[in-house]
Structure 1
Amino acid sequence: MPDPARLGDLQLAILRALWSRGEATAAEVHADLHAERGLAPTTIATMLRRLASQGFASFRNEGRVFVYRAAIDEESVQRAAVRDLHERLFAGDAEALVHQLLDARELSASELEGLRALIDARAQSAEAESGARPRRTRRD
Structure 2
Amino acid sequence: MQKTTYLGDLQLAIMRVLWDLGEATVTDVHQALLDERGLAPTTIATMLKKMEEKGVVTHRAEGRKFIYQPTISEDMVTRGMVSDLTERLFGGDPVALVSHLISRHEIRPDELSALEQMIADAKKKEGKR
- Fold conserved between structures, TM > 0.5: yes
SS in structure 1 at match of 2:128: helix
- CA RMSD in angstroms, aligned pairs only: 1.6
SS in structure 2 at match of 1:67: strand
Distance, in Å, in 2 between the alignment partners of 1:87 and 1:114 is 25
Could you say which residue in structure 1 is the equivalent of 2:33?
A: 33
SS in structure 1 at match of 2:30: helix
**Structure 1 unaligned blocks of 5 or more:** 130-140
Q: CA deviation digits over 1:54-108, x for unaligned, max 9?
A: 1101111011100001111101100001111111100022211001222343233
- Number of equivalent positions: 128
TM-score by length of 2: 0.90
Distance, in Å, in 1 between the alignment partners of 2:23 and 2:60 is 10
TM-score by length of 1: 0.84
Distance, in Å, in 2 between the alignment partners of 1:126 and 1:14 is 37
Kept in 1: contact 2:4–2:84 (CA 8 A): no
1:91 aligns with 2:79: no
Distance, in Å, in 1 between the alignment partners of 2:103 and 2:47 is 35
Change (3 A) 1:118 1:25: same
Distance, in Å, in 2 between the alignment partners of 1:62 and 1:3 is 32
Distance, in Å, in 2 between the alignment partners of 1:19 and 1:105 is 29
Offset, 1:2:
6.1
Larger C-alpha radius of gyration, 1 or 2? 1
SS in structure 1 at match of 2:39: coil
Offset, 1:3:
2.9
Distance, in Å, in 1 between the alignment partners of 2:21 and 2:107 is 29
Q: What percentage of residue pairs aligned between the two structures are identical?
A: 47
**Structure 2 unaligned blocks of 5 or more:** none
1:120 aligns with 2:120: yes
